[in-house]
Amino acid sequence: MPSDRLSLRLGKLPHDVLAELAARLCSDSPALQAAAEECMAAHTPLPHEMVERVLLSPDLVPHLLGPLEAEDGAAAAVCSQWLAGWKATNEPRRRLKQVPLDFDYASVHRSGVIAASDDSIFHAINYPPVLRRSSHYGTVDAEYQLEDHKFSCPVLAPGGLLFCVTFELDVDTGDVLGGQDEIIALDAQTLQLRHRFGRGLLNDVEQLVVGGDELYACDAGKHRLQVFSLTGEHRRSITGEWRSPHFLCCVKDRLYLVEREPDMEDREEDEDGEPVEPAFPLQGRRILVLSLQGDILQVVTHPTEPTAEFTSICCFDRKLLARYTYSIVESAGTHTRKYGMLALQGM
């Protein structure tokens, strides 16, 4: 058969010549191109690494810059110009703004702060006072107890550490002893104690967050943020135009702070018993955007509910989610408490 003789002759050609001939033939016919793609997919599939790291990558920049030759300076030139433009527009671009959010507000309940890894959930139990590590299916894997202490605010940190606040309890009444707060560092897998620190520096800690290689504590009783190294060294105290830091979120080089709403008994009155205008009228009704040094970069309030009180914040899906409550007056004059979630973007 002629086709057999043609096959025999083609089979004697070098591989590079056959490849060039196939490419020339396929370039003139879309049908042949499709047949070639099908043949290559069956006999020479793309490496798994290429599919995972390139085709399915959310960031293609490294793959675009990678083929540029380093010796001719092309990659360096592109990167340096890109970096200069990014720095020049970074600050105006990083401003929080409201974005739509489809969320079931009724399903949100504040039952205490938890920490979670890929395979474990860490949470504190009030009675009996214990810190627990559980699987995502609810199986208890480890527990940590400290006599006459309760726990709060677990947070995971690099190096396999779990930080948590401990509050000393009165042995007779079981009440928390003020000013005796302390931070403990545990092995996240075994819950064995590594070290403890902060005693005498903290009063009514509301939350812990990790930012880079530092641990931030919301020291609500002293209206400040206390900053420690991950080994427990006290590095600095941050104070500013805020009161009772309640919830804190750290994203990149920004801190997002929510204050605790002032209690009625904390409101000052003049000699005639009339309420005095508070020094911080927006306390609890704003989100403060801070630098890591504590400078206020932006103040965000609810766009439509001026009385909305923020109760917690977290980062999810590259958005800052802020839970809030507000009151509405019913027709009978009664007040009803409502809940909502504000989504902000621009971190």
pLDDT value, residue 216: 96
pLDDT value, residue 18: 81
Lookup result for tokens 């007779």? 172
**DSSP-assigned states of every residue in 97-121:** EE------GGG-------EE-SSEE
pLDDT tops 80 at residue 255 = yes
In the three-class reduction of DSSP (H, G, I as helix; E, B as strand; rest coil), residue 222 is classed as: helix
The lowest-confidence range among 41-45, 75-79, 266-270 is 266-270
Q: Compute the C-alpha angle 254/259/262, nearest 5°.
A: 170
Q: What is the mean pLDDT of the chain?
A: 81
pLDDT tops 70 at residue 74 = no
> Using N-to-C axis directions, what is the helix angle for 15-27 and 30-43, rounded to 10°?
140
pLDDT tops 50 at residue 334 = yes
pLDDT value, residue 177: 80
CA–CA separation, 276 vs 336, rounded Å? 26
- Residue boundaries of the structural domains of the chain: 112-202+220-239
Residue type, 150: K
Q: 104 pLDDT band (50/70/90 cuts)? A: very low
pLDDT tops 80 at residue 274 = no
For residues 289 and 255, the answer to whether their CB atoms sit within 8 Å is: yes
How many CA atoms are closer than 13 Å to the CA of 76, on its beta-carbon side?
4
- Tell me which CATH code domain 112-202+220-239 carries: 2.40.10.480
Q: pLDDT for 146-160, tens place per residue?
A: 888 889 899 999 889
CA–CA separation, 311 vs 144, rounded Å? 28
pLDDT value, residue 268: 61
pLDDT tops 80 at residue 343 = yes
The lowest-confidence range among 102-111, 176-185, 191-200, 243-252 is 102-111
pLDDT value, residue 224: 95
